[in-house]
Amino acid sequence: MKVQVRYFASLREALGAAEAVELATGSTVGTLRDALIARGGEHARLLARGRAVRCALDRVMADEAAPLHETAEVAFFPPVTGG
């Protein structure tokens, strides 16, 4: 299945605004993150398991166990701080 991945804030600056990713049926947000990390380079550094990264699935905050579906939109972004 194909999902749309969007990046925001510092992730967008390093990885670009968006990309399409092909995954196996039954994948989760965590599966997607692992696939992106496996690419190495900036994806691995910025999405590494030790880094705080928030996720949204179809514009709703989600955890990594959330199941994906064909045409899902997954957003990754750093935690937001305010002042």
pLDDT class of 81 with cuts at 50, 70, 90: low
> Alpha-carbon distance 17 to 63, whole Å?
21
User: What pLDDT, on the 0 to 100 scale, is given for residue 28?
Assistant: 98
Per-residue pLDDT for 31 more than 60? yes
Per-residue pLDDT for 52 more than 80? yes
Extents of the domains making up the chain: 2-77
User: What pLDDT, on the 0 to 100 scale, is given for residue 83?
Assistant: 54
- Structural Rg of the chain based on CA atoms: 12
Q: Give the pTM.
A: 0.93
- Quick: pLDDT tens for 7-18: 999 999 999 999
User: What pLDDT, on the 0 to 100 scale, is given for residue 79?
Assistant: 87
Per-residue pLDDT for 21 more than 80? yes
Query: What backbone phi and psi angles, to 5 degrees, belong to 44?
Result: -65, -40
Query: What backbone phi and psi angles, to 5 degrees, belong to 53?
Result: -135, 130
* CB within 8 Å of 41: residues ≥ 6 apart: none
Q: What is the CATH number of domain 2-77?
A: 3.10.20.30
> Alpha-carbon distance 82 to 58, whole Å?
24
